[in-house]
Homo-oligomer: A and B are copies of this chain.
């Protein structure tokens, strides 16, 4: 490990760093005044404030976080589980969620602590322990599904938490933030219908998971709204979230008479597979067949693939706002955010 050089610019004293007492001595004021300068500058006369500020700068003073946390019993941290990378999907979505959370947290002076556990049960236990030991102020639950066993446990234990994912029973507490999956897919259908497409195929996930089901519902609802639902069950395909599966589903849809002129995929992985299938059939994506993916992963940009972007930054901000209320007096309601369709070449031109 890299060791500290004997004498560096910012001076260390004895065993530890420079404390508020050192600053106080240097500026010839009391510790409390230094504290005030740091936290409530308007409470201190300008002249004194300047003197203290100079001392702070000269000594390179940085208030000790643990001491502050102890005294004011605010850890300045929130926790979230980091899940093992699943082989289900190629899309690095969890990554981006954590990044958004970290960024949103920092904006209000909170840091993000990660922990790794094997299952939901130990996740709940760990969350309880982290809050009980004062390590964090609250926790974030990722990918919450109906019937999830984590919320009730945390509720019972009195642990502040916010879910990413709808929780039906918690509607009044503002304890969840979600992105409207149905609306996202519906927006895609709207976009395609406006461009004149009448036969719009759907590449979805197998039934039985919240996200996939919501997206499928969005397709059905929007198709119905445009009067395109009749007979379109032929265009409803489902499969695992893999590239291969996407290619297969697309081939199945396109390789027949009366094939769809547009495809809606519920992930960029599926869409990437579909893209290849389209090309394999000698068709031009965006021209012969329109194609839209989901999640706006980096690959979507590379592939010039239209995709639905989830407002992750906003999700992070809301979560943090609920967990660590700043100025806003009112406790916010649970948020159902609208995703945004990013139109690229794969769906821009009329089929």
Contacts and interface: CB of A to CB of B under 8 A. Distances in A.
B75 A70 contact: no
A99 B77 contact: no
Copies of this chain in the oligomer: 2
A82 B98 contact: yes
Contacts of A228: none
B3 A173 contact: yes
A163 to B, nearest CB: 9
Contact of A1 (B89, B161, B244): B161
B5 A85 contact: no
A29 interface: no
Nearest to A16: B73
A102 interface: yes
Given A87-B302, A96-B85, A156 B5 contact: yes
B3 A134 contact: no
B175 A134 contact: no
Given A8-B157, A303-B244, A129 B62 contact: yes
B96 A10 contact: no
A60 B161 CA distance: 20
Contact of A116 (B1, B99, B155): B99
A173 B1 contact: yes
Contact of A5 (B16, B17, B155, B331): B155
A112 B114 contact: yes
A329 interface: no
A135 interface: yes
Interface of A: 1-5, 8-10, 12, 16-17, 60, 62-67, 69-70, 73, 75, 77, 82-90, 92, 94-96, 98-99, 102-103, 106, 111-116, 129, 132-135, 138, 151, 154-162, 170, 173-175, 242-244, 272, 276, 280, 297-299, 301-303, 322-323, 325, 331
8 contacts: A3-B160, A64-B133, A66-B69, A82-B99, A82-B102, A92-B92, A95-B95, A243-B303
